[in-house]
Amino acid sequence: MNQWKNFSKGFLKENPILVLVLGTCPTLATTSSAINGIGMGLATTFVLFSSNAAIASVARIIPDKVRIPAYIIIIATFVTIVDLLMKAYTGDLYDKLGIFIPLIVVNCIVLGRAEAFANKNSVGASAIDGLGMGLGFTMALGVLGGLRELLGAFSLLDYKFVDRDGILLFILAPGAFITLGYLIALVNKINKK
């Protein structure tokens, strides 16, 4: 039961984006729409879940001298799997996310959870932690991408609400910073209550 406590931490209490402010590069770059944000989040969730479980299962036999390189190889294996699957089955999304899929290997959220949690806990607890953090990351990217798409294009999930151009600022990089700042402030306010 205590394992599931770690699952919910990734949503608000320790959300990688909105609380810990980790992984901001792919967050800002890939959230011009809700679909892009959700796609990037789910790809990262798969890597977090899988690599946390794998690292937890071998952490005790990896010498400290090669711990980080070994973790990176494990993470890179799962990133390669998700990269090939996305390329084969979600070509349009894969093209939009571009280089940010392979860069999941060096995402500080993934390596941070491996180092801070997976190498010290059981396989089950580590998998649940990876799933919770990944879904929290996906939620943050989906909300950020949805807000930017809504304000920047007057659409959501590629459904156009108004037959006009949106506020261009929100589709561009400054809109990502502004929207992320307001979301972080909102979550901080919620967490203080």
**What does the pLDDT look like over 114-124, one tens digit per residue?**
999 999 999 99
Inform me whether the pLDDT recorded for 1 exceeds 60.
no
pLDDT tens string 55-91? 999 999 999 999 999 999 999 999 999 999 999 999 9
Q: How far apart, in whole angstroms, are the C-alpha atoms of residue 151 and residue 45?
A: 27
Q: How far is CA 150 from CA 139, 161, 166, 171, in A?
A: 16, 9, 8, 9
User: What tokens appear for 113 in the block?
Assistant: 């959870």
Residues 6+ apart with CB under 8 A from 121: 56, 129
Q: Residue holding tokens 């996310």?
A: 97
| Pairing mode of beta strands 155-156, 159-160 | antiparallel
Q: Is the pLDDT of residue 2 over 70?
A: no
Nearest to 102 by CA among 122, 84, 129: 84
Place of tokens 């979301």: 183
